[in-house]
Chain A
Amino acid sequence: MPHRNPSSLGHLNPVLLRNCMQNKNTELIKAIEVSKQYRSGEVTVDALNSVSLTIQRGEFTAIAGPSGSGKTTLLYMISGLDVPSSGTVILDGKPVSTMSGRELSDFRRDHIGFIFQSYNLIPVLTVRENIEYIMLLQGVPEWERRLRVSEILEEVSLGGMENRLPTQLSGGQQQRVAVARAMVSKPDIILADEPTANLDSHTGESLIEMMRQLNERRGMTFVFSTHETMIMERAKRLVLLMDGQIEKDEKRQ
């Protein structure tokens, strides 16, 4: 994809864009007036409607809202997995629209960790290999990979389980592996889509607690979507989405 001058991006104010890109040290992700329409047969669905959101480094943010409110779509946008119909997403100071598919892959590899609702570990790879995979993509040497895998497994309380296959773990354990996989590449931000949805309330709560401790201890940025009140209450910032628009954006302690 050819490099485009940021000032040519749609109807956005070039000065605003430049300012956004200059604040890259603190602003990790910035969505500016992002809209997304999907076509479902003859019907056009407005999944997001002119949403603006800035994620600062070190945040522990919950994106909440009922089903169909646009939580997942917003996570797609701010992770560069999807492109908006209008508006701009700036990842680490660079507009997504100027990045090629390969650059986006590399950006996700180096800067974003993902945790999925249904774990989505690779079933044919062991716990160690699942966690190692992303480091292999990053070109991390073997000795360092082994060290980091062992450390991260201890951190998520899965020490000694590195040679098990995902099918040999409980749901909670699998989600912990998913967290370890997301963290091991030392990303700037971890995006989690309803990470507790498939877990019982106790396991879900302990997972969120673990994520919060990682945020506090390591300063790791977390953005996760949820519709569970109990989980929302643990967030330091709550962004409430309703019908594709931000209804509330509040910081808490």
Chain B
Amino acid sequence: MMLFKLAWRNIFRNKRRTVLSGIAIGIGLASLIFTDALMIGMIESMIRAATGTFLGQAQIHAAGFRETFEVEKTIHDLDNVIRQLNSDAAVKHYAVRTQAFGMITSPANVSSVIFYGIDPDMERHLSKIDEAIQKGSYLTKDTTRRLLIGSKLAETMEVDLDDRVVITTAQVNTGQLSQEMFRIGGIFHFNVKEMDSGVVFMQLGEARSIIGLGNDAHEISVTFHDIDQAGNRTLSFQNRYSEGGNKALGWRELLKELDAILELSDFTKYIVALIMFGIVALIILNTLFTSLYERLFEFGVLRAIGTRPSGMASIVLLEALSLSAVSGLFGICIGLTVTYIFSIYGIDYRGIEFAEVTLRELIYPVMTINQYIEYPLWIMLFALVAGLYPAVFAARLVPANVLRRSM
């Protein structure tokens, strides 16, 4: 207890040095806490943006469909799959779709597109197509021969609302060309290049008809009550729906680039933390050594009156621990305040595209209890490691040498 008291009071002997070191370490810790919170917020926002726009949190296809996008590869036993989804407590919403490549032709231009057949009511719950409509209106159950077209594609095709376009595609099995005329019912803008320049939406029934699919579908997009159901590869969803020739994929598998970025961001976070802890260790090492050299006589006295080498080392280590604790507390306060403020007001990164995902909402840093326990503990651990060298130095001091001037 006396050694702790001694160490604690020692760190406040040179207040300016302790305050400066504490501020440096504290700000480092606060920035680490804030960066972590921001990254969690950003990742959650990216996942929401990526999965909430159109993709969904998971999808079911016929096995191999995503590799070739052959229109013949439709979901096996669709009715049974839908029955399962209807009775699955984890599933929040789902939407049945067809998906095919085709050509869109206007009087002015021609372009290749992916056209989706969608159920407007189902999609309203799952995707944000209705919210992305800039001109015209979203599809309803009764709408016929109307297309929703991306803003950039509309520009390319030089078409506007109610203009006529022709969709041409190859039919299932026969491969014969099929053409249908549609009018532009709405122009959407997702601020996602691929969506805005290469995708059109039409009624599910009309898409089935033009492709010759009957009642089949290529894709069921699913959202869950808990997004972890889709992100966690070990959960049962993938197994349950990957049966009978179908394949269920969570968003991590659907968005491999985003998944890779997220894993990279975790790695980056560790690297940044390691650099930060290294800087903290150097600051503490410098502070301890400066303080130790200033008090060499005192250390000599302590050794002379019977403090064992281990006691000397303990004093230095306790000083390292005390300094890191004070700095950690300061860092926690700053980190908590800054993160809390931004978690209320958010940070505007809207419109920025990252890993093929366009951020569509304010980013709100997410506070977790780990940020305020784990990082400060790491700081203290690094402080202890940094304190080892001066501690050994103090333990090995020869009292006669350091006292020569005073005794």
Contacts and interface: CB of A to CB of B under 8 A. Distances in A.
Interface of A: 72, 75-76, 79, 81-82, 101-102, 105-106, 108-110, 113-114, 116-118, 120, 122-125, 129, 132-134, 136-138, 181, 185, 193
B404 A72 contact: yes
8 contacts: A81-B399, A81-B407, A82-B399, A105-B306, A105-B307, A114-B304, A132-B2, A193-B406
Nearest to A75: B407
A210 B308 CA distance: 30
Contacts of B243: none
Nearest to B396: A101
Contacts of A72: 404, 407
Interface-centre pick from A105, A106, A137, A138 (highest chain B CB count, 10 A): A105
B298 A120 contact: yes
Given A110-B306, A132-B2, A125 B407 contact: no
B305 interface: yes
A109 B406 contact: no
B303 A118 contact: no
Contact of B407 (A114, A123, A134): A114
A231 to B, nearest CB: 17
Contact of B306 (A125, A132, A134): A134
Contact of B6 (A76, A116, A122, A181): A122
Given A120-B297, A124-B6, A137 B304 contact: no
Given A120-B298, A137-B305, 14 more contacts: A76-B403, A79-B304, A102-B308, A102-B309, A113-B305, A114-B305, A114-B407, A123-B298, A124-B6, A124-B12, A133-B2, A134-B305, A137-B311, A193-B407
A122 B298 contact: yes
B350 interface: no
Contact of A181 (B9, B305, B404): B305
Contacts of B304: 79, 81, 108, 114
A122 B301 contact: yes
Chain A interface helix/strand/loop/mixed: helix
Contact of B13 (A79, A124, A138): A124
Contact of A82 (B297, B298, B400): B400
A178 to B, nearest CB: 10
A240 B311 CA distance: 37
A42 B297 CA distance: 26
Contacts of A75: 407
Given A76-B400, A81-B400, A116 B407 contact: yes
Contacts of A108: 304-306
Contacts of B256: none
A186 B175 CA distance: 107
Interface string B378-407: 000000000000000000001110011011
A108 B304 CA distance: 7
Nearest to A165: B9
Contacts of A193: 406-407
A91 to B, nearest CB: 13
Contacts of A125: 5-6, 9
A111 B266 CA distance: 59
Nearest to A132: B2
A185 B306 CA distance: 11
Contacts of A110: 306
8 shortest interchain CB distances as A-B pairs: A109-B306, A82-B400, A124-B9, A193-B407, A81-B400, A120-B301, A105-B308, A108-B306
B10 interface: yes
B315 to A, nearest CB: 11
A136 B301 contact: no
A114 B301 contact: yes
A183 to B, nearest CB: 12
B6 A123 contact: no
A81 B403 contact: yes
Contacts of A137: 305-308, 311
Given A81-B399, A116-B406, A137-B311, A129 B5 contact: yes
Contacts of A76: 400, 403, 407
A110 B308 CA distance: 12
Contacts of A129: 2, 5
Nearest to A103: B308
Contact of B305 (A82, A109, A117): A109
Q: Which of A72, A106, A120 neighbours the largest number of chain B CB atoms within 10 Å of its CB?
A: A120
Nearest to B301: A120
Contacts of B5: 125, 129
Nearest to A77: B400
B211 to A, nearest CB: 84
Interface string B280-318: 000000000000000001100111111111010000000
A14 B10 CA distance: 48
A35 to B, nearest CB: 15
User: Which residue, of B298, B301, B309, has the highest number of chain A Cβ atoms within 10 A?
Assistant: B301
Interface in B224-263: none
Contacts of B13: 123-124
Contacts of B398: 82
A106 B310 CA distance: 12
A136 B6 CA distance: 13
B181 to A, nearest CB: 90
Nearest to A123: B13
Given A81-B304, A82-B400, A136-B2, A120 B406 contact: yes
Nearest to A133: B2
A109 to B, nearest CB: 2
B10 A124 contact: yes
B309 A101 contact: yes
Contacts of A120: 297-298, 301, 406
Contacts of A105: 303, 306-309
Contacts of B403: 76, 81, 116
